[in-house]
Structures are given as structure tokens and as C-alpha cells.
Structure 1
Amino acid sequence: MARAENKTEAGGTARVVAALAKALREQQRLSQEELGALIGYTGSAVSAMETCAQPASDQMLIKLEESIGLGLGVFEKARGYIRADKYPPLFKDFAPLEQKALSLQSYAMLVVHGLFQTEAYARALIGGGYPPLSKQRVAELVEARMTRKSLFDRDPTVLIELVLDESALRRAVGSKEIMREQLIRLVEYGELRNVTLQVMPLARGLRGEHAGLHGEITLLESPDHEHVAYLEAQDESLLISDPAKVTTYTHRYAKIRAQALGPDESLGLIEQLAGE
């Protein structure tokens, strides 16, 4: 159900889309109910979109483009901007960089990296956080997270590396079935040619060295071959472009990767955990 407070929370893109959709609908002499029938939504859903009580979803934008877009492509172009509006504030600066990246290298410790999460896992994780979020906000964040997955088969290909701490594989989120599905999906991702997935074993510290104890990190290479580091902690984020600092994080990540299990052994461990 649409929330009244969304009218004040809606971003600038959502407001422009709402006004444009209404203008094009009226220009084509369609009622809200008639437009809803064309795009597979109720008239109430169209009304909620036009008043920003419920901004357009990614799927609704696709349907609007097909039905009343007049070949202009404006609703298609708006999809990326609407998606960015739905991201949490700490991720908004990094999100557009991620979608254009040539390469991504990440180390995740606490939970499965967002890019690799199943919808059920993401919903359980986001919905179970604190402070609690409304069902609508949870749905928005889950949708925004799922749309990031276009990166896996993007053209040009992006090279993706993930070192995942074993604790994240063993930490139950949602239910046993949700975890099993998530583990199976990780194996599927790890078998993609542009993805390298490794596991940092829990017992690594017994060897006397563990380069990952400083926390999670993501390294990104832009289309201009610039390198940045991205850090998150306690709903705060830090985007680092200083070359000296990025070099330090790059060296640390290289050590983390070297200390992790190899790709084949890692996938074998994940498959084993999925079968337990």
C-alpha cells in the first residue's frame, strides 16, 4: 500500500516521471484506469505513481515506455535515476560507479555481499535490521539491490572478484531454506567466467596472519582506469580516491586474496555447506 509520506520523500526524478506520465496520459486521452489496464496495473497504482505516493517501480517504467512513451526513451532513461533514488544514502555515491566499473574486487565478512544476494536473502537481511523499516521501504531497497545484478552479464564485461569470509556462509539469515538457496546461488555465480569467488577460512588466524581483520573493502576500476576504494560500517560509508590510500587497500586486498582458499576449493566448501 502506498504511503502518504512518500509524497514528501520522493526524489526529483520520481516527481519528473510522475508529471511526465500524467501529461502523456492526458495527451493520449487515457484515464488512470485505462492506462493501468494497458500496463498491467490498477488505476489506483497509476494514481499513486502520479502523486508520488508510490513512485514508479522499474517494471512500471518499462511498461510506461512501451505504452505511452512515444518512442522518446524518457522512461527508459529514468530507470537508472529512479533506482538511484531508492538506494540508501550511504550507497548513492558508489552505485553509479559500480554500474560502470571495469572491475570490482571485494572482501565481505559479515554477510553475503549485496551484489551476490538472492532476493529472499536480501529481504530477510534488510527486513530484519534495526531500526526496523516499513514494508514499503524494505521492498524498495530489495528491488534496488536486485537491479544491481545486471552487472553480471553487462556488455562490456566487468570482471568481478569476491573473497567471502566463511563466517558469512555459516551465519543463518532468514531460514535454512533461504540460506541453502543463497549458497547454491553463490556456486552458480562462482562458475561464471567473469567471476572469481573465494572463501577466507575461519581458521586462517591460526596460521599467525590474517590480512582481512581490518574489515570489509571494495576496490573499483573505472572506465577511465581510475581506482577507488569503498568502505562501509554502521550505516556510514567512505569513498576513497587518494592514490596512496587506494594503493594500501589494493595491497591489503591482494594479501586477503592470497590467504583465501582457491576458487575450486571455495566452491567445493560452499557446495558442502549447502548440502548440510
Structure 2
Amino acid sequence: MARAENKETAGSATRLVANIARKMRVRKGWTQEQLGSELGFSGAAVSAMETCAQPASDEMLIKLERVLGDGLGIFEQAREYVRLDKLPAQFKDYAMLEQRALTLCSYITLVVDGLFQTVEYARALIGGGYPPLSDHRVEELVEARMARKALFDRDPPALIELVLEESALHRTVGSQEIMRSQLLQLAECAQRRNVTVQVVPLDRGRRGEHAGMRGEMKLLETPEHDHLIYMEPQDESLLISDPAKVSTYTQRYAKIRSQALCPDESLGLIERLAGDQQ
């Protein structure tokens, strides 16, 4: 459902798309109802898009390109930026960096990393958070999260590493079936040539040392070969570029990775846990 407060918080890409779509509609002499008919949406949906009460969905942008684009590719190119507009404010800067990353290394403790999540797992996770979100906002965030997966198949491919605590594999999110599908997808991702997945076993602490006790982190290398650290404690974002700090976090990540199971052992564990969910 369109919300009035969205008009005040809409991002720049959302506002630009709304303005261009309205002007091109008027140029054709169409009403909102006529454009909606051409798109397969209601006139109310077009109105909500033009007033920024409801940002254009990915589906609407594809159809706007076909109906109003005139071969210019405006709405097609806008898809990425409108998706970014829908992300939480603290995540937007990082999301743009992520899509251009040469390498992306993540240490995750509580749940499966967002880049590896299934639609159902993401929906259950986002919908079950606090404070509660509207169903529409949940779907917006799920759509934006799924769009990040383009990184897996980008050309040239990004090199992606995930070091995941085993406890996240045991934590059922949504339902047993959702969790089984999530584990199977994680196993599938782990077998990609540009992806490495390693699991830190539950008994790591018994060996007297666990380098990951200070929490999650993401290490990113940009096309310019800058190295950055990203952390997101309690919905706050922290992007670190200071070389000395990046070095410390990079060394810590390397130690965490060394304490994880090897990729083959990790894959076997994930597949075994998926079988236990049947």
C-alpha cells in the first residue's frame, strides 16, 4: 500500500524516475489510467509512483522502459539506482561498493549472509525483525536483497569468500523447509568457482582460541584496489578506510578463516545439515 510518508523520504533516483515518467506520460497525452492500462497496473499505482508515495517496482520499471522509454534505456538504467533507494539508509553506500567489488570477504555469525539468502529465508528474517515492518516494506527489502545476487554472475566475476559460524546453520528461520532450502542453496553457492564458503565449527572455543569473538565484518577491495572494512552493529553502519585499522581487521579475518573448516569439510557439513532438515 502506498504511504504518504514515502513522499518525504523518497530517494533521488525514485524522484527522478517519477518526474521523467510523468513528463513522458503527459507528452504522449495519456492519463494515469491510460498509462496504467498500457503497463498492466492500475491508475492508482501510476499515481503512487509519480508522487513517490510508492517507488516503482522492478517490474514497473521494465514495463516503463517498453512503453515510455523510446529506446533510450532511461528506465532500464534506473533499475539499479531505484533498488538502492529502497535499501536501509545505513546500507546504501556499502551496497554501491559491493556491486563493484573485486573481492568480498565476509565473516558472519548469527544468520546466513544476505548475499547467499533464498527469497523465503530473507522474507522470514526481515519480516520477523524488530521493530515490525509493513508487508510492503518487507517485500521491498527482499527484492533489493535478491538483486544483490547479480554480483555472483558479474563479468568480470567478483571473488567472494564467506566464513560462517556453524550456529547460523542450526538456527531455523521461518520453518524447517525454508531452512533446508537455504542450506541447499548455500551448498550450491559454495560450489561456484568464484566462491569459497567455510564454516567455523561450534566447538572452536574448546580449543582455547576463537578470533571471531568480536563480531561480524566484511572486507572489500574496490576496482581501484582500495581495501575497506564494513560493519553494521545494531543497524548502524561503519565503513573503515584507515590503512592501519584495515590491516588489523584483515589480519583478524585471516585468523578467523584459518580456524574454520576447509571448504570441502564445510560443504560436507552444510549438506549433512540440509539432510537433517528432512
- TM class, shorter-length: over 0.9
Per the TM alignment, residue 214 of structure 1 is displaced from its structure 2 partner at its CA by 1.3
Q: Distance in 1 between matches of 2:89 and 2:52?
A: 19
Instruction: Name the amino acid aligned to 2:259.
Output: Q
What is aligned with 1:201?
A: 201
Instruction: Return 5+ residue gaps in structure 1 as ranges.
Output: none
Per the TM alignment, residue 4 of structure 1 is displaced from its structure 2 partner at its CA by 2.3
Q: Distance in 2 between matches of 1:268 and 1:67?
A: 49
Instruction: Name the amino acid aligned to 2:123.
Output: R
Alignment of 1:211-250 (within 5 A): 211-250=211-250
What is aligned with 1:5?
A: 5
1:39-67 deviations in Å (ceiling 9; x for gaps): 23222211211121211012211211122
What is aligned with 1:88?
A: 88
1:67-104 deviations in Å (ceiling 9; x for gaps): 21112222122222211211112211211100000000
Q: Distance in 2 between matches of 1:59 and 1:258?
A: 43
Per the TM alignment, residue 30 of structure 1 is displaced from its structure 2 partner at its CA by 2.7
What is aligned with 1:37?
A: 37
Instruction: Name the amino acid aligned to 1:184.
Output: L
Q: Distance in 2 between matches of 1:40 and 1:261?
A: 50
Q: Distance in 2 between matches of 1:78 and 1:167?
A: 39
Alignment of 1:173-212 (within 5 A): 173-212=173-212
Q: Distance in 2 between matches of 1:220 and 1:183?
A: 25
1:135-185 deviations in Å (ceiling 9; x for gaps): 121111111111101000001110000011000000111111111111011
Instruction: Name the amino acid aligned to 1:15.
Output: R
Matched-pair identity in %: 68
Instruction: Return 5+ residue gaps in structure 2 as ranges.
Output: none
Give the structure-1-normalised TM-score: 0.97
Q: Find the residue that maps to 1:198 and give its secondary structure.
A: strand
Q: Find the residue that maps to 1:220 and give its secondary structure.
A: strand
Q: Which moved more, 1:36-45 or 1:194-203?
A: 36-45
1:245-276 deviations in Å (ceiling 9; x for gaps): 11111111111111111111111111111111
The answer to whether 1:73 aligns with 2:73 is yes
What is aligned with 2:120?
A: 120
Q: Which moved more, 1:254-263 or 1:219-228?
A: 254-263
Instruction: Name the amino acid aligned to 1:158.
Output: A
Instruction: Name the amino acid aligned to 2:63.
Output: K
Q: Which moved more, 1:5-14 or 1:208-217?
A: 5-14
Per the TM alignment, residue 16 of structure 1 is displaced from its structure 2 partner at its CA by 1.6
Q: Find the residue that maps to 2:238 and give its secondary structure.
A: strand
Q: Which moved more, 1:84-93 or 1:212-221?
A: 84-93
Per the TM alignment, residue 213 of structure 1 is displaced from its structure 2 partner at its CA by 1.0
Q: Which moved more, 1:137-146 or 1:6-15?
A: 6-15
Aligned-pair RMSD on alpha carbons?
1.2
1:229-259 deviations in Å (ceiling 9; x for gaps): 0111111111000011111111111111111
Instruction: Name the amino acid aligned to 2:202.
Output: L
Give the structure-2-normalised TM-score: 0.96
Q: Find the residue that maps to 1:239 and give its secondary structure.
A: strand
Instruction: Name the amino acid aligned to 1:105.
Output: C
Per the TM alignment, residue 31 of structure 1 is displaced from its structure 2 partner at its CA by 2.9
Q: How many residues align?
A: 276
Runs of 4 or more above 3 Å deviation: none
Q: Distance in 1 between matches of 2:55 and 2:232?
A: 27
Q: Find the residue that maps to 1:183 and give its secondary structure.
A: helix
The answer to whether 1:133 aligns with 2:128 is no
